[in-house]
Amino acid sequence: MKRTSATFVLVHGAWHGGWCWARVARLLRETGHAVFTPTLTGLGDRAHLAHRGVDLALHIQDVLGLLEMEEPRQVILVGHSYGGMVITGVAGRGPARLAHLVYLDAFVPASGQAVFDLLPAPIVGELRQAAEVHGDGWRIPPLPPERFGVTNAKDAAWLSRHLVPQPIRTFEQPVHAPDGARLERTYIHCRRPTAGPFDQFRHLKEDRAWRFHEVRTGHDAMVTVPGEITRLLLRTLRP
């Protein structure tokens, strides 16, 4: 029996772009599925569109616009890191086209929470200071690849060439997402050698409303273990 084709929309995290999903997207397409890897405004190949007003609401609209124009159905919507904020907002406004939400080492905000509400105060202070000193007060310079768990020299060089500053408003603006849709949800937690800000979501392992997986790699798992991430994404197609 031929497998029914699914549609995956892969949303990147802060400082990244749609480019970071290249390996996972190729593997998913090789299995016969449709894949979209949008780049959020002001990042990646759309870095030239960055300005002080770029915020979370604009990034949510980026993905909603893709869904409206491409008209896919039963979408598996995946958000990495900051992308968890984006897909939460998308699910709150446009759940009809969605079948499953996947949070890849990502923020899972409650309505009314911003990224800065979910980070420890010392990290918030570090990011604000970096924006003030090196980003004209509104751009947060990218973190080095090792902060994303990428240690392979070739991969680290690839990230260094492509990471760009993140507009600070995207971290300051809260998401407003009434949970009106009962969507299937998966959390993929990346087990680092040391604790990170996404460890706060490990409690979802005990929540029967979620599917929960752990992978032994750093934060940018779509770069370091694309095969494993692809296999976990394909598992969302099973009942």
* Segment 132-167, tens digit of pLDDT: 999 999 999 999 999 999 999 999 999 999 999 999
Q: Which of 5, 81, 111, 160 is catalytic?
A: 81
Retrieve residue 126's tokens: 């570090």
Closest C-alpha among 178, 186, 169 to residue 14: 169
pLDDT for the residue numbered 174: 98
Average of per-residue pLDDT across 88-112: 95
Q: Which residue ranges form the domains of the chain, and what is each CATH number?
A: 7-237 (3.40.50.1820)
Q: HSE on the CB side for 175, CA within 13 Å?
A: 31
What percent of the chain lies above the pLDDT cut of 90? Answer: 91
Which tens digits make up the pLDDT trace of 9-67? 999 999 999 999 999 999 999 999 999 999 999 999 999 999 999 999 999 999 999 99
| Closest C-alpha among 197, 231, 239 to residue 82 | 197
CA nearest 11: which of 86, 113, 109, 91? 86
pLDDT score of 238: 86
* φ/ψ (deg, to 5) at 177: -140, 85
Report how far residue 106's alpha carbon sits from residue 122's, in angstroms, rounded to the nearest whole number: 19
Question: Greater confidence, 40 or 5?
Answer: 40
Secondary structure (3-state) at 112: coil
Which stretches within the chain are classed as H helix?
Answer: 22-30, 56-70, 83-93, 115-118, 121-134, 153-162, 169-172, 221-224, 226-234
Q: What percent of the chain has pLDDT over 70?
A: 96
- Summarize pLDDT for 76-97 with one digit per residue, the tens: 999 999 999 999 999 999 899 9
Q: Tell me, what's the pLDDT at 196?
A: 81
pLDDT at 1: 33
Q: How far is the CA of 27 from the CAs of 214, 226, 230, in angstroms?
A: 20, 8, 7
pLDDT at 2: 43
Q: Is 160 an active-site residue?
A: no
pLDDT of residue 153: 98
**Using 50, 70 and 90 to split pLDDT, how confident is the model at 3?**
low
- The reported pLDDT for the residue numbered 194 is 62
Confidence of residue 173 (pLDDT cuts 50, 70, 90): very high
Average pLDDT, the chain: 95
Place of tokens 């990346």: 190
Whether residue 178 is predicted with pLDDT greater than 90 in this model: the reply is no
Asked if pLDDT for residue 7 goes beyond 80, the answer is: yes
